[in-house]
Amino acid sequence: MGTRPTTSLLCLLALALVSAAVAEDKIEFVYPDIYNDPERDTFLYGTFPEGFVWSSATSSYQIEGAWNVSDKGVGIWDTFTHEGGHVANNDNGDVACDSYHKYKEDVALMKAMGLHYYRFSISWPRLMPDGTAASLSTDGVCYYNDLINELVANDIAPMVTLYHWDLPQALQNHGGWVNETIVDRFNDYARACYENFGDRVKLWITFNEPWIVSLLGHGSGAFAPGIAEPAITVYTVTHHLILSHALAYHTYRLDFKATQNGQVGITLNTDFIEPADRSKPADIEAADTTLQFNFGWFAHPIYIDGDYPEIMKTNIARKSAYQGFEKSRLPEFTTYQKALIKGTGDFIGLNHYTTTLATNATPDVGDRNASDASYWSDQNIWSWKDPNWPGSGSSWLQIVPWGIRRLLKWISDEYGSDIPIYVTENGVSTKDVFELEDTIRVDYYKSYINEVLKERRMMFKMCSVCLSAVSLYLAFVAGLATALAEDRIEFVYPDAYNDTTRDTFLYGTFPEGFVWSTATSSYQIEGAWNVSDKGPSVWDTFTHEGGNIENDDNGDIACDSYHKYKEDVALMKAMGLQFYRFSISWPRLMPDGTAASLSTDGLRYYNDLIDELVANDIAPMVTLYHWDLPQALQDHGGWVNETIVELFNDYARVCFENFGDRVPFWITFNEPWIFTLLGYGTTMFAPGNVVDPSVKIYTVGRHIILAHATAYHTFQREFASTQTAKIGITLNSDYFEPADRTRQSDLDAADRVLRFNLGWFANPIFKNGDYPEIMKTEIGAKSAYQGFSQSRLPPFTDMEKEFIKGTADFFGLNQYTTMYVTNTTVDDSLPSQASYLTDRGVYTYRDPAWPGAASDWLKIVPWGIRRILKWLADEYGRELPIYITENGISTHDVLELDDKIRVDYYKAYINEVLKAIELDKVNVKGYTAWSLMDNFEWASGYTERFGMHYVDFNDPERARTAKASAKFYATVVAENGFPDPSVSGAPASVTVSLAGLVASIAFALFN
């Protein structure tokens, strides 16, 4: 922060005492224990993780000097300090530490201290004198290249801040951050930095403390450029800062990430805000409100949903209205801008020094007129510092070590424990006197560092701490090498032959709130194919054609759940289930697929089903599309025709409107990989008359992804304010085990096939809005030598990528089995040989020794589900909620109520899920057994049975009878897992080892 005094770099020598001082446990700062926290004032002995890195930090205006050397442009701080009257003693940064000329000495100091990283900022007016790319300075580029090269030569990595408050005066003359053109100007500047320095820079910080830029620069006028407009301009400035950050982030991601492999974040500042009285809910709310107005103002858009915190929008809109403003003084982001902003931070940079007390103020006192409006009064908060807390050389800085720990926990709770946090500034000031024995600073560092060590023991990514030490900031970066490596997730499989937990049964229970469910789909159970005004679906057509299904079976009646849904709900109630996953039949709800054909009977049926579930305390988890497309839409091309995107959105909107008040979970699509590949790449599944595995399957995949994203945004825009549902998508995949773990090509093949299967849909939705790089590379290259004029994989536009990215609140996984995979080379040089399967370049197979099921594709490999869950967590983030939305086993079409194979299958697979949660720390939130009852099993008709209830398809009443698996699953649900039988009261029925389970499955099958 700019008010901190600057003295010689030699004061760093005093900071070298910190490493020795941490061994002492005497900390002079003592506070009343208002948290009842026995650790708060206790010194914690311990070391930081291996790889803990020491660093230092500065900013350009504070140290460089050389304010008018060569063609450097004037910065706003040059103007501000030269005007006089703004800075103590009329000091300025004309010379400062003269680091422009002495950068080698600075690097030598860091080298002598053994530092590994250095955080510094680039001066925009030094690099671009008038702020535009056209004015790029050769000398400016040369200076920063020399500095970076000197750092690299001394094994010190640069952490570069793009903007640390020194805006070119030429841009300020045109309005600076108030003028929206600044967004593109900043992006041009960022691009120039990436282009010229990015080959050596792995950590970029777009802005340092934008709160200071907005509030002190444009709200109070205490900082450059000296504008005092706290009612409107501060919000306009922030709006442009956030958009500038997001655009610079995407520029790096799209144009430089692939070759430079760096990370981009932002550094935000805040005090910790302690409720004045923790017994008062109003004070607790006041503390959170202040944190949202300070930190959340920038962090909420970037790290949560692309928009400002709700409390800001509510408070400012309400106050603006009664102050006579025509609209809220807080500008709105468009839907597109929200999508652009959301998720544009690879890490959080935190500058923290002190703590403030807060209490709720009497609402709206003293700000009823437009002239009274301000950011400060918008909060309705009184804040102050306890005068008994130790002070410093700065009036605003009192020493409160425990605040940093509590703030770190708040950030982790608010923005996710998986987001890397870099504490990029922390320190204490003293008065301007010659003092080398700075005991207060030693004690400050000792106590604050120790609080970080305490919080580092918590489960979140604490990556660094940077201690502000006057002109240099001493920093240490926890796990930085690891954090950088995580930018590109390496695919590493656990050792299948040296895994001590693989075949060991784990006793234990699932987390509180774990969801237990079962599942069905509309075409497979409902029947009533032509009842009332229901329209035909592609599966009605496909089955009625004949020759497509075993025994020419169809779903005309199936389980007759259209008429017997109350019996189905009673089965679930008897099992103690909390959720039921079912799908809505699009042609039952909209006979011709359009909103104009909305069926009253269709609405009534699903309302009746949902009401029956809710009446029995069973929550609906609703799949919008489980393969039964209205035939009327297929007649116009179905998923090959891009109009399907809007038609699906209309269908989704109708579902949200009519059922959303009772539905907590929506799944847009079930297994798009299946109906894309088998429905449009082969004749195996409906529609079965569009066989194009080389081009159209990719077109279909593209339209599905866009349809999903559009429906997601429709819900967020039109329904999220009144409905609290989560929206996700269910993807399916086998786990793929490398055939030979010692062969790199097989490891690569396993990674590649997972990206072609899961990543095809998951990478755009859960990562970056685009297909996996390996898909784009492989399909593009093969398309070229096959003679296609362009890649068979249709690209997304940049706008579509931003629209798609992040459009899921959870990941639904359907998983049944595992395959071996090896690399292969096939002759597919001709256009006629092109296909999705050859694009992957792999050969897959199942070990014949693995126990099988009635389905030829389903081998019983329990450990595969644990490994794919870990792969998902490693690939898409450990905070991502995962719901297993299908898992089960088929048996042959015989009357078998004692289905021991299914009991053992569930026992083994569910236990592997427990291991994934407990041992691998995967965020699995629920498990769904497929299926509630035997049903129409697609191309296999009624020859295979997946149900926990036997359905007699020869009985017109379609009688349901519970199997042993239903009773077993009910026990697992009731006990929330597998309580240890050695503990009193626990059942002894789950003591079998996992190896024994698999052996019993094999015995049941082969004897």
User: What are the residue numbers of the active site?
Assistant: 425, 886
What CA–CA distance (Å, rounded) separates 669 from 647?
14
Beta carbons of 190 and 136 less than 8 angstroms apart: no
Beta carbons of 354 and 425 less than 8 angstroms apart: no
* Crossing angle for the helix pair 900-918 and 863-876, to the nearest 10 degrees: 30
How many helices and strands, by DSSP H and E, does the chain display? 38, 29
DSSP label at residue 305 = I
Q: 31 — phi, psi (to 5°)?
A: -135, 155
Beta carbons of 860 and 853 less than 8 angstroms apart: yes
- Buried b vs exposed e over 219-248: b needs ≥16 C-beta within 10 Å? bbbebbbbbebbbbbbbbbbbbbbbbbbbb
Please list the residues that pair with 660 across neighbouring strands.
none
* Crossing angle for the helix pair 964-975 and 900-918, to the nearest 10 degrees: 20
What CA–CA distance (Å, rounded) separates 902 from 896?
11
Beta carbons of 9 and 106 less than 8 angstroms apart: yes
Give the dihedral of Cα atoms 590, 594, 597, 598; nearest 10 deg: 50
Beta carbons of 813 and 883 less than 8 angstroms apart: yes
What CA–CA distance (Å, rounded) separates 881 from 786?
41
Short-list 496, 304, 491, CA closest to 874: 491
Structure tokens at 119: 């955080």
Type and span of the H or E element at 346 = none
What CA–CA distance (Å, rounded) separates 991 from 1007?
23
Short-list 349, 96, 325, CA closest to 211: 349
Long-range contact list for 20-26, CB < 8 A, 24+ apart? 21/442, 21/445, 21/446, 22/446, 22/449, 22/450, 24/446
What CA–CA distance (Å, rounded) separates 413 from 928?
28
Could you identify the residue written with the tokens 């530490």?
97
What CA–CA distance (Å, rounded) separates 508 from 340?
43
Cβ-Cβ contacts under 8 Å for 117 (sequence gap 6 or more)? 53, 54, 55, 56, 156, 157, 158, 159, 203, 475, 477, 480
Q: 474 — phi, psi (to 5°)?
A: -75, 130
Alpha-carbon 839 to chain mean position: 29
Which stretches does DSSP call E strand in 399-514? Answer: 421-425, 462-469, 472-477, 508-509
Beta carbons of 94 and 65 less than 8 angstroms apart: yes
Strand duo 977-978 + 508-509: pairing: antiparallel
Could you identify the residue written with the tokens 């989704």?
652
